[in-house]
Chain A
Amino acid sequence: MTKRRLIVALGILGLAAALGIAALAVRYGGGENEAALQPVDIGGPFTMTDQNGETVTEQDLLGHPSLVFFGYTFCPDVCPSTLAEIAGWLDTLGEEGKDLAVYFVTVDPARDTAEALGQYAGYFSPRIVALRGNANQTAEIAASYKAYYKRIEMDDGTGDYLMDHTAAVYLMKSDGTFFDAITFTATPEEAVAKLRRLIAAS
Chain B
Amino acid sequence: MRFLRPLALVLVLMATGGVASAHEFEIGDLELDHPWIAEPPPGAPTAAGYLEITNESDAADRLIAVRCVFARKAEIHEVTIDAAGTMQMRPLPDGIEIPAGGTVTLARGGYHLMFMHVAERPVAGDMIPVTLIFEHAGEIDVMFSVQKPGMQDDDHMDMDMDMDGTMEMESGQ
Which A residues are within 8 Å of any B CB, using their own CB? 20, 23-24, 26-28, 73-78, 80-81, 83-85, 87-88, 115-116, 119-120, 123-124, 148, 152, 154, 158, 160, 162, 164-168, 181, 183-185, 187-188
Contact = CB atoms under 8 A, between A and B. Distances in A.
B116 interface: yes
A167 B48 contact: no
Contact of A184 (B46, B81, B148): B81
The 5 closest A-B pairs by CB, nearest first: A27-B84, A123-B41, A167-B87, A76-B48, A168-B85
B156 interface: no
A26 to B, nearest CB: 7
Contacts of B90: 152, 162
Contacts of B148: 84
Contacts of A162: 89-90
Interface of B: 38, 40-48, 73, 77, 79, 81, 83-91, 108-109, 112, 114-116, 148-150, 152, 173
A166 B38 CA distance: 22
Contacts of A168: 85
Contact of B150 (A73, A75, A88, A154): A88
A66 to B, nearest CB: 18
A66 B38 CA distance: 27
Contacts of B84: 23-24, 26-28, 148, 166
A124 B150 CA distance: 9
Contacts of B89: 75, 77-78, 162, 164
B41 A80 contact: yes
A190 B149 CA distance: 20
Contacts of A164: 86-89
A152 B41 CA distance: 23
Contacts of B152: 81, 84-85
Q: Which of A77, A158, A164 has the most CB of B within 10 A?
A: A77
Contact of B115 (A28, A76, A124): A76
A119 B38 contact: no
Contact of B46 (A76, A81, A85, A183): A76
A183 B85 contact: yes
A73 B44 contact: yes
B43 A76 contact: no
Contacts of B38: 76, 80-81
Contact of A73 (B41, B79, B109, B116): B41
A23 B85 contact: yes
A185 B83 CA distance: 12
27 contacts: A20-B85, A23-B85, A24-B84, A27-B85, A73-B41, A73-B44, A74-B116, A75-B89, A76-B38, A76-B46, A76-B112, A77-B48, A78-B81, A80-B40, A80-B41, A81-B108, A119-B41, A123-B41, A148-B86, A162-B90, A164-B88, A165-B87, A166-B85, A168-B85, A183-B81, A184-B81, A187-B173
Contacts of B47: 76
Nearest to A162: B89
Given A76-B115, A148-B86, A85 B44 contact: no
B45 A74 contact: yes
